[in-house]
Amino acid sequence: MLTTKRVLTTVFCISLLMSGIIGKAQQAQDSLIISLDQAIEIAMEESNSIKIADLTIEKSGYSKKGTYASLYPNITASGSYQRTLKKQIMAMGIGGQAMEIEVGKWNNMNAGISASMPLINAQLWQTLKLSALDVELAVEQARSSKISMVAQVKKAYYAVLLAQQVYDVYNSVYENAAKNLERTEQNYNAGKSSEYEYLRAQVNVKNAEPNVYSSLMAIDLAIWQLKAVMGIDLNAKIGVQGSIDQYKDDMLSFNLSSSRISLDNNSTLVQLDLQNKQLERTIKMTKYQYIPTLSASFSYSYIAMGDDFKFKWNPYSVAGLSLNIPIFDGFSKRNNIRQYQATQNILELNIEDTERNLKIALKNYDNQIATYMKNYAAAESTLEMAQRSYDIAERMYELGKATLLELNDAQLALVQAQLTMSQAVYNFMITKASIDELAGNEFSTEEN
Task: Report the 3 state secondary structure along the chain.
Answer: CCCHHHHHHHHHHHHHHHHHHHHHHHHHHCCEEECHHHHHHHHHHHCHHHHHHHHHHHHHHHHHHHHHHHHCCEEEEEEEEEECCCCEEEEEEECCEEEEEEECCCEEEEEEEEEEEEEECHHHHHHHHHHHHHHHHHHHHHHHHHHHHHHHHHHHHHHHHHHHHHHHHHHHHHHHHHHHHHHHHHHHHCCCCCHHHHHHHHHHHHHHHHHHHHHHHHHHHHHHHHHHHHCCCCCCCEEECCCHHHHHHHHHCCCHHHHCCCCCCCHHHHHHHHHHHHHHHHHHHHHHHHCCEEEEEEEEEEEEEECCCCCCCEEEEEEEEEEECCCCCCCHHHHHHHHHHHHHHHHHHHHHHHHHHHHHHHHHHHHHHHHHHHHHHHHHHHHHHHHHHHHHHHHHHHCCCCCHHHHHHHHHHHHHHHHHHHHHHHHHHHHHHHHHHHHCCCCCCCCC
Domains of the chain and CATH, by start: 31-74+120-292+328-439 (1.20.1600.10)
Give the model confidence (pLDDT) of 118-133 as tens digits: 988 888 888 888 888 9
pLDDT at residue number 74: 92
The Cα–Cα gap between 108 and 262 comes to 74
Model confidence at 371: pLDDT above 80:
yes
Pairwise pLDDT comparison (348 vs 383), residue with the higher score:
348
Instruction: Decide if 89 contacts 100 (C-beta within 8 A).
Output: yes
Give the model confidence (pLDDT) of 177-234 as tens digits: 888 888 888 888 888 778 888 888 888 889 889 999 999 999 999 999 999 999 899 8
Give the model confidence (pLDDT) of 315-326 as tens digits: 999 999 999 999
Model confidence at 16: pLDDT above 80:
no
Model confidence at 22: pLDDT above 80:
no
Instruction: Decide if 301 contacts 313 (C-beta within 8 A).
Output: no
Task: Kindly report whether the global pTM for this prediction surpasses the value 0.75.
Answer: yes
**Exposure string for 403-432, b = 16+ CB within 10 A, e = fewer:** bbebbbebbebbbebbbbbbbbbbbbbbbb
Strands 32-34 and 238-240: parallel
Model confidence at 28: pLDDT above 50:
no
